[in-house]
Amino acid sequence: MSNIITYSPAFTIVPTYECFNHCTYCNFRANPHTSPWLQLDEAKKILGNLEGKNVTEILILSGEIHPQSPRRKPWIQLIYDIGKLALARGFFPHTNAGVLSFEEMSLLKKVNVSMGLMLEQLTPKLLNTVHRHAPTKIPELRLQQLEWAGRLKIPFTTGILLGIGETLDDRIETLSSIAQIQAKWGHVQEVILQPYVKGSQDKFLGKFISLSEIFEVISIARDILPETITLQIPPNLIDNEKTLLKSLELGIRDLGGIVPKDEVNPDYHHSNLDNLKAILSQNGWELQPRLPVYPQYYSWIDIDL
């Protein structure tokens, strides 16, 4: 068994926080028309300031503009242009902008080495609770995007959100669906197991997932998902060093993007990278940086990227 744990030296750029979905656990979104869109000149400045700072991945993370909105095309164009700027500066873009059409994914593939979308949970019962006001959290829509990414040969990151009202059977069903799609297309490079944590903005009153449940899900995920998929857990959402080390023992092999600010969970900051490396080293693990596209997918990437 390898003792290497990977992470991505990343920086998040947000085209807009506005989102027409309203999930009760969200600490990221702003109401439509209330969040100014990032201007390209500002994006250029941000990217320029990152040069020489050991950043390789630019995570383009956005709220969703309604599919029928006249602002949808300008929004997609903005995401494309930010990706193009990042490439020109020598960075590797990875976009997660919610549910996209096949045509939108085809366009963004040209300026992204990988893309992502969390499945969260596929049980439709959440449409009556935390996803009641979130039209693109319909399970079929998110599964369809995972399928489309496979057809387009886009190296893809997906994942499940833990502790938002789902059962153990729901978690198993979602993981099994990912495994089935992976068997068909082979494009899922990593699956994030993300525990819900309470933030200062969300309105969710649910029960946190317990440590024993987190460990159970890691073990189940490693059993259900093929070895071609790397399991990831965000270290800033793990409550202590002991929990992190136990998670690694059970099969976690990646810690995701280590960023200055976790835009999705802004109340939970990442540990100092040197401290994290030291903790892992003292316990027999070696932390190494990686690109946002895994080596087995290099041949899928257009030569221009």
Percent of the chain whose pLDDT exceeds 70: 99
Q: Of 109, 211, 209, give the one whose Cα is nearest residue 155.
A: 109
Rounded Cα–Cα distance for residues 183 and 150 (Å): 10
Rounded Cα–Cα distance for residues 42 and 77 (Å): 16
- The arithmetic mean of pLDDT across residues 72-101, rounded, is 98
How is residue 102 written in tokens?
A: 């096949």
Q: Domain ranges for the chain, please list them.
A: 4-300
* pLDDT, mean over the chain: 95
Q: DSSP secondary structure string, 163-175?
A: SSS--HHHHHHHH
pTM of the model: 0.96
268 exposure class (CB count in 10 Å sphere: 0-12, 13-18, 19+): middle
To which residue do tokens 């999930």 refer?
23
Q: Of 151, 153, 158, 152, give the one whose Cα is nearest residue 189.
A: 158
What pLDDT was estimated at residue 120?
95
Contact 93, 113 (CB under 8 A): yes
Residues 6+ apart with CB under 8 A from 249: none
Percent of the chain whose pLDDT exceeds 90: 87
Q: Of 198, 218, 217, give the one whose Cα is nearest residue 208.
A: 198
Torsion angles phi and psi, residue 178, rounded to 5: -65, -45
- The arithmetic mean of pLDDT across residues 168-184, rounded, is 98
Torsion angles phi and psi, residue 162, rounded to 5: -110, 125
How is residue 172 written in tokens?
A: 């198993």
Rounded Cα–Cα distance for residues 95 and 10 (Å): 12
Whether pLDDT at 272 is above 90: no
Indicate the SS3 state at residue 24.
Answer: coil
If one compares 205 and 60, the residue with the highest pLDDT of the two is 60
What pLDDT was estimated at residue 1?
62
What pLDDT was estimated at residue 208?
79
Give 11's pLDDT tier (boundaries 50, 70, 90): very high
Instruction: Give the CATH architecture of domain 4-300.
Output: Alpha-Beta Barrel (3.20)
The H or E element that residue 257 is part of is strand 254-258
List pLDDT tens digits, range 132-174. Answer: 999 999 999 999 999 999 999 999 999 999 999 999 999 999 9
Whether pLDDT at 90 is above 90: yes
What pLDDT was estimated at residue 198?
85
- The arithmetic mean of pLDDT across residues 39-56, rounded, is 96
Q: Which of 7-16, 57-66, 76-85, 263-272 has the lowest mean pLDDT?
A: 263-272
Whether pLDDT at 205 is above 80: no
What pLDDT was estimated at residue 299?
95
Q: Of 130, 166, 99, give the one whose Cα is nearest residue 25.
A: 130
What pLDDT was estimated at residue 15?
98
